Amino acid sequence: MEQLLQQIADYKKEIESFSAADSAAVEEFRIKWLGTKGLVKTIMGEMKNVPNEQKKDAGQLLNEFKQFTEAKFEELSQQSVASDIDLSLPGDELPVGARHPITLMKNRIISIFQRLGFAVAEGPEIEDDFHNFTALNLPEHHPARDMQDTFYVQQNPDWLLRTHTSNTQIREMEKGKLPIRVICPGRVYRNETVSARSHCFFHQIEGLYIDENVSFADLKQTLYFFVKEMYGKDVKVRFRPSYFPFTEPSAEMDISCTLCNGEGCSVCKKTGWLEILGCGMIHPNVLSNCGIDPNKYTGYAWGMGIERPALLKYGINDIRLFSENDVRFLKQFTSAV
Ligand SMILES: [Zn+2]
């Protein structure tokens, strides 16, 4: 036992004073002390020569010695890693994410309207019948309420996945703080067959302006500004009369095709025009439904999809690519704006 104690003390001294110049010396240290034929193993073998009544103390000592040696090796390895680093080498490339093309398009649209004083408002994606339909002047028999178009929540038939972002407009109007000038971006859901051209969920952005003396001229001027900022000064705009239950009068707005400059191509179906949004003056019934006096206030609203302009801008031919999470697709937008 005396001999064993002396041996451990000597080894400890040797290990303590050891220092490694490079990783090869660290490896030598490991083989000498901790290898399969190393000194730690050998001295552990001495246990069999220790008298039974001292085995417990000896075992403890030997274990401590083993841990001491392992700790030293750990320290040497870390020092060696540090000294092996060549600071003049170029660093490892970090994977850089990219914004999703839908986000890029959404931000682009938002930034144009923010310059005109529009604030951004958001609303719930699970909505009740009133905020998605009734308040918007959609009578009970309206086809948009049909099960084929809307996802209803089974537990409560009054709940549904919103079919447009107009629910956010209703919720803004209900707050009763006038005037209102907001844009409402968000995801919407329709019970549609998924194909290259349509999906069961997509994104919309809607605008709403309510104040005294807001006219259709204000609406047109705002949208003209948007189109020039978005598609360039040479793009032509036309309004076509249309019908929506929540606006009166209502219109669809087209722009001259940005791909063929109005000459006719497959994207514009040879018409030279692309339909980009629907708009109109807010129906007095909608204002009344939200507690706003239609005799005092008027307002306009417009709404557009985000997928379609993104498809056009980035030359994407399948709407499903947006939601497939394929890194090969998403990576292409690393430097896009
Ligand atoms: Zn065209």
Q: How many Cβ atoms from other residues are within 10 Å of residue 148's Cβ?
A: 10
User: Could you tell me which of 163, 173, 239 has the C-alpha nearest to residue 202?
Assistant: 163
State in Å: Cα 111 to ligand 1 middle: 27
User: Could you tell me what percent of the chain has a pLDDT over 90?
Assistant: 60
Compute, in angstroms, the gap from residue 291 CA to the centroid of ligand 1.
44
DSSP 165: T
250 close to 243: Cβ distance less than 8 angstroms: yes
Q: Please give the single-letter amino acid code of residue 302.
A: W
Q: How far is the CA of 57 from the centre of ligand 1 (A)?
A: 90
d(CA 33, CA 21): 17
CA of 304 from ligand 1 middle (Å) equals 19
Torsion angles phi and psi, residue 97, rounded to 5: -75, 170
Q: Are 144 and 138 in contact (CB under 8 A)?
A: yes
Give the list of residues 6+ apart from residue 159 with CB closer than 8 angstroms, or none.
126, 127, 128, 129, 152, 153
Whether 187 contacts 323, CB under 8 Å: no
Please determine, for residue 272, whether its predicted confidence score (pLDDT) is greater than 90: yes
Go through the chain and tell me how many residues it has.
337
Q: Let me know: does 138 contact 145? Beta carbons within 8 Å.
A: yes
The 10s digit of each residue's pLDDT in 190-240 is 998 999 888 999 999 999 999 999 999 999 999 999 999 999 999 999 999
Ligand 1 center to residue 59 CA distance, Å? 87
Instruction: Report angle CA 160, 283, 243 to the nearest 5 degrees.
Output: 80
Q: In percent, how much of the chain has pLDDT > 70?
A: 99
Report cis status (omega within 30 of 0) of the bond before 185: no
Give the Å distance between the CA of 264 and the centre of ligand 1. 4
Expressed in angstroms and rounded, the spacing between residue 328 Cα and the centre of ligand 1 is: 28
CA-based radius of gyration for the chain: 36
What are the structure tokens assigned to 125, written together? 């994606």
Distance 50 CA to ligand 1 centre (A): 95
User: Tokens for 320?
Assistant: 């499903």
> H or E element: which one contains 204?
strand 201-211
Widest CA span in the chain:
107
Chain mean pLDDT for the chain: 91
Distance 303 CA to ligand 1 centre (A): 22
- C-alpha 80 – ligand 1 centre gap (Å): 65
Residue with tokens 């209803």: 152
DSSP tag of 152 = B
* Span from the CA of 324 to the centroid of ligand 1 (angstroms): 28
Ligand 1 centroid to Cα of residue 22, in Å, is: 68
Q: What is the reported pLDDT for 119?
A: 97
Q: 321 Cβ partners below 8 Å, 6+ apart?
A: 329
- Please work out, in degrees rounded to the nearest 5, the angle formed at the alpha carbon of residue 169 by the alpha carbons of 319 and 205: 25
The two beta strands, 298-305 and 201-211, are: antiparallel
Please return the burial class of 315, using the count of CB atoms within 10 Å of its CB with bins 0-12, 13-18 and 19+: exposed
Query: Is the separation of the CB atoms in 79 and 317 below 8 Å?
Result: no
Q: How far is the CA of 315 from the centre of ligand 1 (A)?
A: 13
CA 7, 9, 13 angle in degrees (round to 5)?
115
Distance (angstroms) between ligand 1 centre and the Cα of 273 equals 7
One-letter amino acid of 40:
V
Q: pLDDT tens digit string along 80-120?
A: 777 777 788 888 888 778 899 999 999 999 999 999 999 99
What is the 267 CA–ligand 1 centroid distance (Å)?
5
Average pLDDT over residues 49-72: 90
Helix, strand and coil in the chain, % to nearest 5 = 45, 20, 35
How far is residue 208's CA from residue 116's CA, in Å, rounded to a whole number?
12
Express each pLDDT in 140-165 by its tens digit: 887 767 766 889 999 998 999 999 99
Beta bridge partners of 182: 119, 208
